[in-house]
Amino acid sequence: MFNHPIIARRHAIKLGLAGLLGMTTVTTTEAINRGRQTPVRYHPKRDFTVVGQASLKERAAAKGLIFGAAADKHILLNTLFANTFTKDCGMLVAENDLKWRTIRSNPHTFDFSKGDWLVKFARTHGMLFRGTPLVWELGLPKWFKKKVNHKNAERFLVEHITKVAKHYAGVVHSWDVVNEAIAVSRSKRSDGLSRSPWLEFLGEDYIELAFRTAAKADPKAMLVYNDRWLDYDTPVGNAQRAAVLKLLERLKSNKTPIHALGIQAHLKARETRFNAEKMRGFLKDVASLGLKILITELDVQDEGLPADVMESDRIVAAAYEDYLSVVLDEKAVIAVLTWGLSDRYTWLSRNSRRPLLYDSYFQRKLAWNAMARAFEQAPKR
C-alpha cells in the first residue's frame, strides 16, 4: 500500500505512535512493566540504520534546520569532547555560563569572561551562538534575595537585560528572554504563572517588559519565550500547553517583540502518554501566531529502564525518534538543540545513565542514529 519508502516509514511511525497510545499491540518488556503503571514499548527489531557519513548539523541543514547542543566553557576545554561537539553541532548554547549566578557574582558588576570564551569558540568553529536565560526565577546569585525588592526590581531587570543583551548584540542568534514563567502544577493563579520574585515584585507585566527591553538592547536577536512540561498528554502537560498558548496570545496581541517559543523537551523514556495529534495541534496554534519554534533542551531521562544497556538504549532512541518525527513535521520548528551531548556531562547524572547522543567516552549511541533519522524524515523548510 505504501510503496514510497518515506511514506511507508511515516505510516509506520504513525502506527507506532498509535501503539504508544494503546491502539495496537506491541512487544512489552516485562522487566519494565512489573509493578509499574505506565508500560514502555520495546521493539527488539526496530531499525535504527543511518545512511551516509554526514554529521548531524549537515543532515539538519539539508532540511533548513539547525542542530546544536548546550555546553559550558569548562567542559569544552576537554579537547576530545570539543572535537565531538564541533563535528556535529551547528549551534552552541550557553548551558550555565550566561545565567545570573555565573555573571553576577555581586550586584554591581558583570563578568562576561565565560560567555565571551564560548562566543569565540563558536566563531572559531563556524557555529551559531545562543544565550539563555535573561530572566528566570532560578539560577540567581545568593545576594539577589537580600538586595532585590519591590522598589528596585524593575531597575535590576532592565539593567541586567540591557547590559547582557547589548554585550552580545550581533553575535547571538537568539535569547531565551524569559524562562519557565509558567508552572501550572505549582501556581494558584488561573494564568498558571509561577511564583517567581519577578512576578512578586513587578506583577505579570514583567514578561512584556523583559521582551521590550531585550528588543531595544539587541534589535536583531531572535527573542524566545522558553518553557517545560509541554510534551505529554497528562493533566499537567495539557494545562501547561494551554497556559503557554494563552501567554503567547496575550504577548502577541500587545505587540510584544517576541519571535519564538522554546520547547525544552526534557523527555522521559518511560512516559508513554505522548499524543501526536495534541502536539501537532499545539505547534500549529503557536505557528499561527507568527512564531517560530525551537526545541531547546532535548534529552531523554532513562530512569527505570532495564539494566541491559542495549535494551535501554533502544528505548531511549525510540523516544527521540518518535517525538521528533512528530515535532519536525511542523515547519515552524527551526532548530533541535540537546541539553548536553555526551552522557559524561549531563544535569541528569543523578537519575539517568545514558540520556544523550554520545556515551561517556564520546562514542555515538543509537540516540544519535535516531536524531539523524528524524532529520532524514523531516520535510524541508
C-beta of 212 vs 228, nearer to ligand GLA: 228
* 297 catalytic per annotation: yes
CA-wise closest residue to 129 among 113, 115, 146, 111:
115
Q: How far is the CB of 264 from ligand GLA (least distance, A)?
A: 5
CA-wise closest residue to 283 among 241, 317, 246:
241
- Give SS3 for 135: strand
Interface characters, 204-243, with ligand GLA (x: CB under 6 A): ------------------------x---------------
Q: What is the DSSP string of 29-52?
A: -HHHHTT-SS--B--TT------S
Residue from the set 112, 117, 347, 362 that interacts with ligand GLA by CB under 6 A: 347
Q: Which residue is nearest to ligand GLA (CB)?
A: 347
Residue type, 266: H
Give the span between the Cα atoms of 254 and 354, in whole angstroms: 43
For strands 260-263 and 292-301, give the pairing.
parallel
CA-wise closest residue to 129 among 98, 99, 84:
98
C-beta of 201 vs 347, nearer to ligand GLA: 347
Does 297 help bind ligand GLA (rule: CB under 6 A)? yes
C-beta of 221 vs 230, nearer to ligand GLA: 230
C-beta of 42 vs 211, nearer to ligand GLA: 211
Does 174 help bind ligand GLA (rule: CB under 6 A)? no
Q: Between the CA of residue 174 and those of 91, 131, 139, 169, 369, what are the distances in Å?
A: 11, 6, 19, 10, 27
Residue type, 166: K
Residue from the set 29, 174, 179, 196 that interacts with ligand GLA by CB under 6 A: 179
Does 362 help bind ligand GLA (rule: CB under 6 A)? no
CA-wise closest residue to 198 among 157, 241, 240, 249:
157
Residues 182-211 that bind ligand GLA (CB under 6 A): none
CA-wise closest residue to 16 among 45, 37, 36, 54:
45
C-beta of 228 vs 373, nearer to ligand GLA: 228
CA-wise closest residue to 272 among 32, 42, 38:
38
Q: How far is the CB of 30 from ligand GLA (least distance, A)?
A: 32
Residue from the set 264, 301, 342, 369 that interacts with ligand GLA by CB under 6 A: 264
Q: How far is the CB of 122 from ligand GLA (least distance, A)?
A: 18
Q: How far is the CB of 139 from ligand GLA (least distance, A)?
A: 6
C-beta of 21 vs 236, nearer to ligand GLA: 236
- For the record, the C-alpha cell of 169 comes out as 548584540
Given the residues 180, 271, 297, 321, the one annotated as active site: 297
Residues that bind ligand GLA (CB under 6 A): 132, 179, 228, 264, 297, 347
* Residues with catalytic roles: 297
